[in-house]
Chain A
C-alpha cells in the first residue's frame, strides 16, 4: 500500500501541526515544481492551498496528486461539452477551469486520479472567476461537472496540517534544491563566511 492509502485508512485522528497558509502555499509550489508539474499549473495548484488545508484528507490527496508523471490532458468533444480521459487532477484542474470560463456547460472526466479534489478546485474557480459549478458522479469512473446556479458549498477554514502528507510534500520540494559544494558555498551568494567588522 502507498502512504496515501495508509493515511486515509488511518483517520480521522491524524497527527497534525499548525502551519501558516503562506508557508504551505510556498511548499505546494515547490513540491509541484519538484514533481515536474508545469510552472503555471504548480502556481494554480498552490493557489488553492488554503482550501486543501480545510480538511486533512483533502490536504493529503493534494499532496498525493502531485506525485508521479504529469502529461498534457487528453480531451475530446467541443468547447461546450468536453470529455477528458484518464486525467491527473493537477494537470486537468486548469483545463477544467479554463473550459468553464470559456463557456463550457459540461465537462466529463473519466478515471480521474483524485476526484475528491474537484471540490476545492471548483470552489477556487468560483472565487477567482465567479463560475458556479456542480459535481455529479453517474458511475464509479466518471465525474460530470455542470454549470449550476448555486455552486458548491464553501469549504471551512484552514486546519492543522497532517504530518504524513506534509513530509511527502517536503520530499517533493527537496527535489528542487541543488546540492551544495564548496564552490557554490563560496561564490553562489557572493559573500564571505564571516562578518566580524
Chain B
C-alpha cells in the first residue's frame, strides 16, 4: 500500500457513509425535527432526532453569527458559523443550555458522556447567499452554482472517541448501527447536511427544489490531522484495506455475470463518465489528473460490453485497467464492487477493530530480522544519508495544537517531531538487530527505543495492510495522499486539493435526504441533473 495508490482512491459501497445510509434504511429510521428556534436570519438552535438500532440519537445544532475575519477552516480557528453535537438520547432544556454554552467553543468547551460527536462547520458564503437570496426572490438558486460548489456548509472537524470529554468510543461500540468505524461521525454529518438545507429554506422563506437539495451534500475541509491517525491506528487501517481487498477478490472470482449485472455495470460506467465531467477543481495538478482520468475512462468504457461477456469478467476488467493511470485503476475497483452488495456488504462488519495486537517478546530476533527482510523492504531501502529522505518533519504546533509539517533543514523544531518516521524507526531497529541474538525480550531490555518499531514489524505478519509502505518524512511525501485514502473510506468524493497538505471534499452528495431513506443506496458517484 503505497502513497500514490492511497492518493488515488475513490469512495465505494464499502464506504462508511454508504454503510450508514443502508443501515438507516433497513431500520426504517425516521428523522424528526423537535426543536427549531431560529431568528429570521437563521441564528439559533435546532434539534433533530432519530432511532437507530433501538437507541435514540439527536443532533443538536447551533447557528451563530460569524465575523468574516474569523472564518477559517483551520484548526487554529476560534469561532465557526455552526456547531453541532450528536447527543445520546433527546436533550432536555437544561442539556440544550449546557451544550449552547460549550459546543460553540469546540476544543475550549467541556463535554459529557451523553455527547457522542462534536463538530463545527463554516458556510460556503457565496452559495448560502445565492440560495437564500433566490428563495426570497421566489426562484430556485442558480443550478450551475449549486452544481459547482455542491454544499452549503463544510465541516472543519468532526470529533469522536472521547475528545474534550465526549463519550469514549466503547460507550457506543456495541450499539447496533454504530459498531462500524466512524459510524457516529457519519450519522452526524448526514444529519448536519439536512440541517443546512433546512437553514437555507428558513432564511430564504421558501422550499428548495428536491433535486437541487439532493445534490447539496456536506462539505469538509481536512488538513494534516488525518495523516497521524492512519499511522497511529495500524490495525484499523489494515482492516479497512483487508475488507476492500477481500471484496475485490470476491468479485474478481465471479465466473459469469447475469445480463442484469452487466447492464448495471455499463450504466454505472456511463454515470462515472458524467460524474468525472462534473468534477472540476482549481488545483492545476489535480485538474490534469482528472483530465487524464476522463480520457482513460473514455478509452475503457467502450470495451466494457466485450469484457463483461468473458469468463471471470471482473477479473479481466481489473487486469485490463492495470495499464491505465492509478487513479483509473482505483476507480475501476470501486466500479466493480458497486453492483455486488449481496456478495460484499457483510464484510463491512469486519472494518472495525478490537484490542490492539500486543508485542510478542518471545520471538527470536533472527525471526524478526527475517520478517523485516520479508515485509519491510520499503523501509530498509531508504537512504537516510540523503537529506531528501528526511527533508520533512511532522509536528504539533503549540498554537492550538495544530498538526503541521516542517522542513527539517530550514525550520526549527525538528527535535520535537511526532513519530511518523516509521521507515526510519524500522531502519534503526534493523541496524541494532544486525548482531543480536536470543529473544526479543532480551533485546528490548537493552534497546527499549525499538519497542514500537519491533511491534510494527511483527504486526505485518498478520496485518499486511497496517503500514503505509512509504517514507513519510521524505521530500516526496504528499500528506494529501493519506487524506484522500481516509476520506474515500468515509465516502468522500469531488476531492478538491488546496495544497499538498489539505483538501476540501464533499460528503453525502446525492445521498438520500432525511425523508428519503426508503431509497437509500444508489448514490455512488452521483451526477447532478437539475
Contact (Cβ within 8 A) A99 B74: no
Q: Mark A22-38, 1 if CB is under 8 A from B, else 0.
A: 11010000000100001
Q: Considering the chains assembled together, what is the distance between the CA atoms of A71 and B206 in angstroms?
A: 69
- In the bound complex, how far is the Cα of B413 from the Cα of A181, in angstroms? 11
Q: Which residues of chain B come closer than 8 Å to A47, judged between CB atoms?
A: 356
Considering the chains assembled together, what is the distance between the CA atoms of A103 and B124 in angstroms?
A: 62
Q: Mark A1-38, 1 if CB is under 8 A from B, else 0.
A: 00000000000000001111111010000000100001
Q: Mark B355-387, 1 if CB is under 8 A from A, else 0.
A: 110111110000000000000000000000000
**Complex alpha-carbon distance, A192 and B504, angstroms:** 13
Q: How far is the CA of A43 from the CA of B373 in the complex (A)?
A: 25
Residue in contact with B224 in the complex, picked from A21, A73, A189, CB distance below 8 Å? A189
A25 to B232, CA, bound (A): 13
**1/0 per residue B100-113: CB within 8 Å of A?**
00000000001011
Is B75 touching A188 in the complex (CB atoms < 8 A)?
Answer: no
Q: How far is the CA of A98 from the CA of B403 in the complex (A)?
A: 34
A22-B168, A193-B74 known; A94+B451 contact, CB < 8 A: yes
- How far, in whole Å, are A40 and B428 apart by their CA atoms in the complex? 14
Known: A98-B361, A197-B125. A188 touches B404 (CB 8 A): yes
- A89 to chain B minimum Cβ distance, whole angstroms, is 13
User: Contact string, B217-241, partner A, CB cutoff 8 A, digits 1/0?
Assistant: 0000101100000000000000000
Measured CB to CB, the nearest residue on chain B to A99 is B441
* Contact indicator per residue, chain B 167-192, by CB within 8 Å of chain A (1) or not (0): 11110000000000000000000000
A43-B452 in contact (CB<8A): yes
User: In the assembly, what is the distance between CA of A171 and CA of B243, in Å?
Assistant: 41
Once bound together, how far apart are the Cα atoms of A160 and B163, in whole Å?
15
Mark interface residues in A149-185 (1 if CB within 8 Å of B CB, else 0). Answer: 0000000000000000000000000111111110111
Bound complex: CA A196 to CA B163 (Å): 28
Residues of A within 8 A of B446 (CB): 72
Query: What chain B residues lie within 8 Å of A99 (beta carbons)?
Result: 441
- Asked if B399 is at the interface of the complex by the 8 Å CB criterion, the answer is yes
Q: Are A195 and B71 in contact (CB under 8 A)?
A: yes
Return B77 CB to nearest CB of chain A, in Å: 9
A79-B69 Cα distance, complex, nearest whole Å: 64
Q: Is A191 an interface position by the 8 A CB rule?
A: yes
Find B398's partner among A44, A79, A177 (CB 8 Å cutoff): A177
Complex contact B397–A38 (CB within 8 A): no
Contact assessment for A193 and B449 in the assembled complex, using a CB-CB cutoff below 8 Å: no
Q: Is B10 at the interface (CB under 8 A from chain A)?
A: no
The answer to whether A188 and B122 have CB atoms under 8 Å apart is no
Residues of A within 8 A of B76 (CB): 185, 189, 193
Judge whether B342 is part of the interface by a CB distance below 8 angstroms.
no
What 0/1 readout, one digit per residue, does chain B (151-178) give for beta carbons within 8 Å of chain A?
A: 0000000000111111111100000000
Distance (Å) between the CB of B502 and the closest chain A CB?
5
Do A195 and B73 have beta carbons less than 8 Å apart? yes
Which residues of B12-64 are within 8 A (CB) of A? Answer: none
Cβ-defined contact, A22 with B444, below 8 A: no
Q: Which of A18, A174, A177 has the most B CB atoms < 10 Å from its CB?
A: A177
Which residues of B have CB within 8 Å of A191?
72-74, 221, 223, 498-499, 501-502
Q: Contacts A39-B449, A40-B452, A189-B223 hold; do A197 and B124 have CB atoms under 8 A apart?
A: yes
Enumerate chain B residues within 8 angstroms of A25, measured Cβ to Cβ.
162
- The count of residues in chain B whose C-beta lies closer than 8 Å to any C-beta of chain A is 75
Once the chains bind, are A193 and B72 in contact (CB under 8 Å)?
Answer: yes
Interface assignment of A75: CB less than 8 Å from any CB of chain B: yes
Q: With A128-B358, A190-B405, A195-B71 given, is the CB distance from A98 to B165 under 8 Å?
A: no
Chain B nearest CB from A67 CB (Å) reads 18
- Indicate which residue in A40, A176, A193 contacts B416 across the interface (CB closer than 8 Å): A176
User: B395 contacts the other chain (Cβ, under 8 Å)?
Assistant: yes
User: Cβ of B405 and Cβ of A40 under 8 Å apart?
Assistant: no
Q: Are B122 and A38 in contact (CB under 8 A)?
A: no
Contact indicator A177/B406 (Cβ below 8 Å):
no
Do B71 and A196 have beta carbons less than 8 Å apart? yes
Known contacts A44-B451, A190-B499; A177/B405 CB under 8 A: no
Q: Determine the residue in chain A with the shortest Cβ distance to B360.
A: A101
B404 CB contacts on chain A under 8 angstroms: 178, 184, 188-189
A123 at the interface (CB under 8 A from B): no
Q: From B499, which residue of chain A is reached at the shortest CB distance?
A: A190
A73 to chain B: closest CB distance in Å?
A: 6
Q: Is A95 an interface residue (CB 8 A)?
A: yes
- Closest Cβ–Cβ distance, residue A122 to chain B (whole Å): 15
**A20–B165 touching, CB < 8 Å:** yes
From B124, B162, B450, residue with most partner A Cβ within 10 Å: B162
Interface: B341 (CB within 8 A): no
Instruction: Return chain A residues, CB-CB under 8 Å to B73.
Output: 191, 195
- Across the interface, which residues of B come within 8 angstroms of A189, CB to CB? 74-76, 223-224, 402-405, 501-502
**Cβ contact within 8 Å between A190 and B71:** no
Asked if A40 contacts B221 (CB within 8 A), the reply is no
Answer yes or no: A91 CB below 8 A from chain B CBs. Answer: yes
Give the docked Cα–Cα distance between A98 and B443 (Å): 11
| B406 and A184 contact, CB distance less than 8 A | yes
Give the CA-CA distance A19 to B165 in the complex, in Å.
5
Kindly state the separation between the CA atoms of A38 and B455 in the bound complex, as whole angstroms: 13
Chain B residues, Cβ within 8 Å of A102: 361-362, 439, 441
Q: Could you write out 29 A-B pairs with CB less than 8 Å apart?
A: A21-B170, A22-B162, A22-B163, A39-B425, A40-B451, A40-B454, A44-B451, A72-B448, A73-B445, A94-B448, A94-B451, A95-B441, A98-B359, A98-B444, A98-B445, A102-B361, A103-B362, A176-B416, A184-B413, A189-B502, A190-B479, A190-B498, A190-B500, A190-B502, A191-B73, A191-B498, A194-B68, A194-B71, A196-B125
B residues with CB within 8 A of A: 68-69, 71-76, 110, 112-113, 122, 124-126, 161-170, 221, 223-224, 355-356, 358-362, 395-399, 401-406, 411-413, 416, 418-419, 425, 439-442, 444-455, 479, 498-502
In order of increasing CB-CB distance, the 10 nearest A-B pairs are: A40-B451, A190-B501, A22-B162, A188-B404, A20-B162, A178-B413, A98-B361, A190-B499, A40-B452, A98-B441
Sample of 8 further A-B pairs with CB below 8 A, known A189-B76, A190-B224: A20-B165, A20-B166, A40-B454, A178-B416, A189-B223, A190-B405, A190-B498, A190-B501
